[in-house]
Structure 1
Amino acid sequence: MAKVTFKGNSITLLGNEVKVGDKAPNFTVLANDLSPVTLEDSKGTVRVISVVPSLDTGVCDQQTRRFNEEAANLEGVTILTVSVDLPFAQKRWCGAAGIERVQTLSDHRELSFGEAYGVAIKELRLLTRAVFVVDKNDQVTYVEYVPEATNHPNYEAAIDAAKSALVG
């Protein structure tokens, strides 16, 4: 399993670590209107799955805004941000932040995504910071479990991986 800390403290990640080359695990999360969303719902597109502990924190806010900006230059790419924030809070945050190109999804109910992708933090019932790129055929082409959950991911590497998956 990936070794990750949260504010310098070791944490336990639940579920299975996902690796490049794996078939992307399916999951069920909730959209802002409480409708279920699965990986299958975006099949046929390249997916960037940005995972954050909570949209109401500085780094998570910046991460989601950055991917929202990048989405303007990534035709054919679906960008999903997954957290355990309640769908109502995600909707409010997106409205206040002007986020329109990223779909925020809530894993609060079952931790389906968190356990499928090995990002559920046992001690906090939050998701650790990570980024996954999944190609049109549901193959994982990029994985980053950010070693310190309060730090930023490597945005450039994730965007480059998404662009490569578009042509690959």
Structure 2
Amino acid sequence: MANITLGGNPATTVGNLPGIGSKAPDFKLTTTDLSDKTLADFSGSRLVLNIFPSVDTGVCAQSIRTFNKKASNLENTKVLCISKDLPFAMARFCGAEGLDNVINLSDYKTGDFGNTYGVTFKDSAFESLHSRSVVVVDTDGTILHTEQVSETGEEPNYEAALNALN
């Protein structure tokens, strides 16, 4: 489990992110139109999994905006924004912000993604939500980069994530 902080207070997750060089674990998540998507639906694309607690917090919202802007020029790359938010909240946020270079996916139905990827908070005020993390996946499903952000209130290292694609 990862030992991180939330507002400076200790917090832990249920596990650790998958290892670099390993295959990305499969998932089944819900889109904003309530259909399901799996890892196989993105086969052949490079992926940036932008994982966070809730779209309705400032840092989470900023991570979506930043990845939306920075990844828009990357060839064959999709940014998947993943949280346990309801799909309606995710659609509302991106619609209001005019963000169209990211794909919002929700783990609200089962929480399996958070448990499989080791990002579900085990304790703290955010218990059962996802910790702020980034996983970069190559076209063949191999994990190229991971980041478990040590303080949940801080932004991820965008440049490190995007540089992993070069």
Tell me the TM-score normalised to structure 1 length.
0.93
Shift of residue 122, structure 1, vs aligned partner: 2.2
- Report the equivalent of 1:150: 153
Q: 1:137 aligns with which of 118, 121, 140?
A: 140
Shift of residue 60, structure 1, vs aligned partner: 0.5
- Report the equivalent of 1:125: 128
Q: Deviations over 1:23-47 (max 9, x none)?
A: 1001111000111111111010110
Q: Deviations over 1:60-108 (max 9, x none)?
A: 1110000000122112001100011100111111101111010011111
- Report the equivalent of 1:11: 11
Q: How does 1:1-168 map to 2 (within 5 A)?
A: 1-123=1-123, 124-162=127-165, 164=166
Secondary structure of 2:92's partner?
A: helix
User: Which moves more between the two structures, 141-150 or 17-26?
Assistant: 17-26
The gaps in structure 1 that reach 5 residues or longer are: none
Secondary structure of 1:126's partner?
A: coil
Q: Distance in 2 between matches of 1:12 and 1:109?
A: 22
Q: Distance in 2 between matches of 1:65 and 1:132?
A: 17
Q: Distance in 1 between matches of 2:153 and 2:41?
A: 30
Q: Distance in 1 between matches of 2:12 and 2:111?
A: 14
Shift of residue 12, structure 1, vs aligned partner: 2.5
Q: Deviations over 1:132-164 (max 9, x none)?
A: 0000111101000000111111010011112x2
Tell me the TM-score normalised to structure 2 length.
0.94
Contact 1:16 1:115 in 2 (8 A): no
Which ranges of 4 or more aligned residues in structure 1 deviate by more than 2 Å? none
Identity in percent: 45
Secondary structure of 1:4's partner?
A: strand
Q: Distance in 2 between matches of 1:137 and 1:59?
A: 30
Secondary structure of 1:120's partner?
A: coil
In structure 2, relative to structure 1, the CA distance for the partners of 1:17 and 1:159 (3 Å cut) is: closer
Q: Distance in 1 between matches of 2:8 and 2:22?
A: 29
Shift of residue 18, structure 1, vs aligned partner: 1.1
Q: Distance in 1 between matches of 2:139 and 2:75?
A: 13
User: Which moves more between the two structures, 117-126 or 23-32?
Assistant: 117-126
